[in-house]
Amino acid sequence: MSRYELRFSGAGGQGLITAGIIMAKAASIYEGKQAVQSQSYGPEARGGASKSEVIISDGPIDYPKVTQCDALLAMTQEAANKYSHDLKEGGVLLIDSDLVKVIPAGNFKTVAFPIINTAKTEVGREIVANIVALGAMVALTGQVTRENAEKAVLSSVPEAFIELNRKAFSMGYEKALEASA
Amino acid sequence: MSKKVAFLQGNEAAAQGALYAGCNFFGGYPITPSTEVAEVMSVELPKIGGKFIQMEDEIGAMAVILGAALAGSKVLTSTSGPGLSLKQELIGYGCIAEIPCVIYNVMRGGPSTGMPTGPSQSDVMCAKWGTHGDHPAICLTPASVQETYEEVIRAFNLSEKYRTPVMVMPDEIVAHMRERIVFPEKGEIEVVPRKAPTVEPAQYKPYDTSYGDVPPLASFGSGYRFHVTGLNKMQDGFPTTKAEVVQAEEERQVRKVDANIDDIVTFEEYLLDDAEVVVVAYGSTSRSARYAVNAAREQGIKAGMFRIKTFWPFPDKQIKALATKTKGFIIPEMNLGMCALELERCVQGKAPVLGIFRVDGEPINPDQIVEKIKEVK
């Protein structure tokens, strides 16, 4: 049975748990697949290590955590160092090129672009960096269609921020395709 | 019409399940990793004319739900280990005064404040032995978001049917995990109403055993006068030290659960027909176990899983039956061997019981279980 494992990692406050939730929602509510999202984080509300894991499958999902990661997002150097060890051969690593300077070695594809800076300067708000990252992960993993992922994003954000998030998602999607080409 | 679906967290599903079961009163004190239950109830209860109250502490929260239940409400509190410890005195009160209520406890690391954001399964003994004295105990351990929703409904039903506190204890992984949930239609899942008195108020006794082991419960303030106490009591609720009354009443209270084990105990048997190695698991750990059993089968090992859905009362009968035809049991749990002791009690030395115990805040991964399965010869 197909089992695809994603991990969104970085620091508390970067919105990575939300990004994971939206990815899983896209798969399970809009794509007709099954998905489980889980997370682990420290006692801090901000800072500290944070990760959100998503398993996507065509059938029932038993173990809800990552066993061998297919796709990893690392938004800090610490996360890149800590979580790239179980990245599969042929898997994909997405990093913020401004924050992850030492790229972990391994038999996987690394895609890098300045995620937070893209949110800040091109979308206009740093707070949507997680949605930029999500757009990129959707493009790189191919587990859900762009349309379904966008639906999941738009149904998860407040009315007033729909356009901002739509732009962030598209920007992330396009940038990832460019960066991985 | 297609059913309503949502992508929810275990805790959110628990709150929705409580609402489906008719819960109209929540009293609590916020604590990681259970706070989302209180959050949802604080938004939803006022909409349906229910009451939400955040108390000054956990025992206060236990007190307020007992009072509300006696006044006719269907009640819920939610907490985690440290809060469960603080509630214990009044959980015993709920047992002896026979007050229906549901206690939703998310298991995090312990003892004491332990590891607030880490998962654990180390409160399962506290569910039975946390409050002193002989008393009935019912504790459900769901393993998915959908099951958390359904088990909270079942907890309300059991608490009404047997007039006793019922606990639902997901571990932090199940409580914070998100999955798709399909909501049942109204009426699709049975909701058990409270057994009300049929006699005139003047004839009413709150512990009248002529109605069987579970006497009808009037709502306080509805004209039925009765006395409630934590002391051993007579049928009218007033205290007694009369030996034969105390003995009979204590036995009846415990019998409410013991004589109805087959009605209460639920479990899942996975690939057990030809299994030589049986992994016994509950909560999120059972999800690792299912993965491991499948992996072991692929390697030609006849493994199966007995999944405990109702932790208390313990499925003695089923484990005893398995013990006669199993080469070995594996028990993975996020504590230092709590369920393992119950297993050993039931297996009675007929097969080895091998434990995998983790209290480091990390889930038990399937590989660990596969390796242990291979140790059974």
Judge if B274 and B258 occupy the same domain. no
- Which chain A residue lies closest to B7 (C-alpha atoms)? A25
As given in the structure block, the two tokens for residue B83 are 């809060």
User: Which pLDDT score is estimated for B1?
Assistant: 54
List, in sequence order, the alpha helices (H) in B28-80: 35-44, 58-70
Same domain for B353 and B249: no
Question: Do B312 and B165 contact (CB within 8 A), yes or no?
Answer: no
pLDDT in tens, B253-312: 999 999 999 999 999 999 999 999 999 999 999 999 999 999 999 999 999 999 999 999
Looking at the 3D structure of chain B, how many domains does it have? 3
Residues 35-74 of A with CB under 8 A from B: 35-43, 62-65, 67
- Are B255 and B271 members of one domain? no
Q: Does residue B7 register a pLDDT over 90?
A: yes
Longest CA–CA separation in chain A, Å? 42
With a pLDDT cut of 70, the percent of chain B lying above it is: 100
Model confidence at B86: pLDDT above 80 = yes
How would you write B297-318 as a 3-class SS string?
A: HHCCCCEEEEEECEEECCCHHH
Starting at the earlier edge strand, list the strands of the sheet with B303-308.
Answer: B267-270, B303-308, B277-281, B328-333, B353-357
Please state, as a whole number, how many other Cβ atoms lie within 10 Å of the Cβ of residue A7.
23
**Residues of chain A with C-beta less than 8 angstroms from the C-beta of B179:** 28, 35-37
pTM over 0.80: yes
pLDDT at B35: 97
Q: Does one domain contain both B162 and B255?
A: no
User: Which residues, in sequence order, are bridge partners of residue A87?
Assistant: A69
Are both B99 and B113 inside the same structural domain?
yes
Instruction: Tell me whether residue B280 is in a domain.
Output: yes
DSSP β-ladder status, A87-96 and A69-74: parallel
Residue A30 contacts B, CB cutoff 8 Å:
no
Query: B341: Cβ–Cβ under 8 A, 6 or more apart, which residues?
Result: none
pLDDT band at A50 (very low <50, low <70, confident <90, very high): confident
Let me know if residue B189 belongs to a domain. no
Closest CA to B22 of B270, B194, B210: B194
User: Domain holding B115: CATH number?
Assistant: 3.40.50.970
Q: What is the CATH number of the domain that holds B294?
A: 3.40.50.920
Calpha distance B49→B33 (Å, rounded): 27
Residues B200 and B166 sit within 8 Å (Cβ to Cβ):
no
pLDDT, position A93: 98
Q: Do B180 and A34 touch (CB under 8 A)?
A: yes
Top residue of B171, B178, B271, B290 to mutate, by most chain A CBs within 10 Å, is: B178
Query: Given B216, B242, B262, which residue is the final one in a domain?
Result: B262
Q: Is A21 on the interface with B (CB under 8 A)?
A: yes
pLDDT value for A24: 98
pLDDT at A45: 62
B49 in the same domain as B151: yes
Contacts of B293 (CB under 8 A, 6+ apart): B270, B271, B279, B303, B304, B305, B369, B373
Mean of the pLDDT values across residues B186-207?
Answer: 96
- In this complex, the residue of B6, B117, B291 whose CB is nearest that of residue A62 is B291
Indicate yes or no: CB of A43 within 8 angstroms of CB of B173: no
DSSP state of B112: T
Question: Do B27 and B175 fall within a single domain?
Answer: yes
User: Would you place residue B226 in the very low, low, confident or very high pLDDT band (cuts 50, 70, 90)?
Assistant: confident
What's the mean pLDDT in B141-147? 98
Any B CB within 8 A of A29 CB = yes
Q: What residues make up the domain containing A92?
A: 3-180
How many angstroms away from the CA of B68 is the closest CA of chain A?
A: 34
Residues of B in contact with A28 (CB under 8 A): 7, 179-180
Strand B328-333 to B353-357 pairing? parallel
Structure confidence at residue A41 as a pLDDT band (50, 70, 90): confident
Instruction: Name the phi and psi angles at B372, rounded to 5.
Output: -70, -35
What DSSP element (H or E) covers A48? strand A47-57
* Distance between CA atoms of residues B107 and A118, nearest Å: 40
Instruction: With cut-offs at 50, 70 and 90, classify the pLDDT of residue B210.
Output: very high
Q: What is the mean pLDDT of residues B133-137?
A: 97
What is the rounded distance in angstroms from the CA atom of residue B144 to the CA atom of residue B150? 10
**How far is B10 from chain A, CA to nearest CA, in Å?**
10
Q: What is the pLDDT of residue A1?
A: 58
Contact residues on chain A for B284, CB-CB shorter than 8 A: 64
User: Which of B6, B179, B363 lies at the smallest CB-CB distance from A65?
Assistant: B363
Contact A104, A144 (CB under 8 A): no
Given this model, what pLDDT does residue A49 score?
A: 81
CATH number at residue A128: 3.40.920.10
Q: Are residues B316 and B229 in the same domain?
A: no
DSSP3 helix / strand / coil % (chain A, rounded to 5): 45, 30, 30
First-last CA distance in chain A:
29
CB-neighbour burial class of residue B276 (10 A; exposed 0-12, middle 13-18, buried 19+): middle
The arithmetic mean of pLDDT across residues B176-183, rounded, is 97
Distance from CA of A57 to the nearest CA of B (A): 12
**Do the beta carbons of residue B313 and residue B261 sit within 8 Å?**
yes
Please indicate, yes or no, if residue B194 is contained in any of the structural domains.
Answer: no
Tokens read off for B24: 């109209």
| Minimal CA separation from B338 to chain A, in Å | 22
Give the pLDDT mean for B129-151. Answer: 98
pLDDT in tens, B24-54: 999 999 999 999 999 999 999 999 999 999 9
Question: Residue A74 has what pLDDT?
Answer: 97
Look at residue A48 in the predicted model and tell me its pLDDT. 80
Q: What is the DSSP string of A116-155?
A: HHIIIIIIS-GGGHHHHHHHHHHHHH-SS-HHHHHHHHHT
**Cβ within 8 Å, pair A62-B284:** no
In this predicted structure, what is the pLDDT of residue A47?
Answer: 74
Q: Are B135 and B281 in a shared domain?
A: no
User: Which of B7, B176, B367 shows the shortest C-beta gap to A39?
Assistant: B176
pLDDT of residue A44: 65
A97: contact with B, CB 8 A cutoff: no
Pairing mode of beta strands B267-270, B51-54: unpaired
Give tens-digit pLDDT for A15-32.
999 999 999 999 999 999
Alpha-carbon distance B132 to B285, whole Å? 29
- Residue B140 in any domain: the answer is yes
Residue B318: which domain range? 267-375
More confident site: A2 or B162: B162
B72: nearest Cα among B229, B235, B226: B226
- Asked if B121 and B16 sit in the same domain, the reply is yes
The size of the A-B interface in CB pairs under 8 A is 56
Q: What is the DSSP letter of B124?
A: H
Looking up tokens 């958390």 gives B148
Domain count, chain A: 1
Could you tell me if B244 and B355 lie in one domain? no
Q: Which residues of chain B have a CB within 8 Å of the CB of A39?
A: 176
Residues B278 and B219 in one domain: no
CA angle, corner B372, sides to B366 and B377, nearest 5? 140
